[in-house]
Structure 1
Amino acid sequence: MDELAERVRRAVRRIPPGTVVTYGDIAELVGTGPRQVGRIMATDASDTPWWRVVNASGRLPGHLMDEARAHWLAEQTIGDPAAPAVQLRRKRATWLLDEPDY
């Protein structure tokens, strides 16, 4: 198993419901780049709450938005079913960045 992919998956599993982090946040946490995190999320993270990892604008790729929006509503990450993104200023899980064991 790829060690980097496992560190990314472990970090993503620890994001609390109702909050999000960015690809860059996870990248900084595990010591890689945001594109690598995106690749891992796209190919090797289906067993994680992937909808809790968004881009710097609080969005996901268009083909994932409907499914992500359903999760965000269920977890109260967003309140408006038509919201185009998560409000990072309000919903970012910043405490995750302080945890060293990834």
Structure 2
Amino acid sequence: MDARRELVIERVLRCVELVPPGRVASYGAVARICGIGPRQVGSILRHYSDGLPWWRITSHAGDFGGDLLQRALPHWREEGIRVKPNGLGCRYSDYAADMEELERRWREATADLPGLDEVDADASA
């Protein structure tokens, strides 16, 4: 795996770890914080989320696709996240993490990592 991909994965995983219990963040919100696209966040979580609170990362509407909601429900019950009436997920506006606080904490948690532009510059040198 190349250095840029490893860095992107590490940045995303650190962000996911920082979403507080009982709160959610969208793939897009995590992507904006990490400087990548939402589909990349989903792909990273699909492959590297063992041991992480992946159930706190939802669509912009608070929903999950496929069987993810069923897998998330025990965690949500424990954290007090309630399923909305349509049964697809949670009401995002009720459970969204404070994005400014999440980004601030993420910047602190990733201060030891190089920036994406630094890795790109090293790769082209």
Once superposed, which parts of structure 1, at least 4 consecutive aligned residues long, lie more than 3 Å away?
A: none
Matched residue, 1:72: 76
Q: 1:90 aligns with which of 89, 94, 104?
A: 94
TM-score normalised by L of structure 2: 0.73
| Count of matched residue positions in the alignment of Structure 1 and Structure 2 | 101
Coordinate RMSD, CA, aligned: 1.9
Distance 1:79 1:38, change over 3 A: closer
Picking from 15, 19, 23, the partner of 2:23 is: 19
Is 2:48 the partner of 1:58? Answer: no
Whole-angstrom distance in 1 between the partners of 2:31 and 2:65: 18
TM-score (norm: length of structure 1): 0.88
In structure 2, runs of 5+ residues without a counterpart are 111-125
Q: Percent identity of the aligned residues?
A: 33
Task: Pick the structure with more helix per residue.
Answer: 2
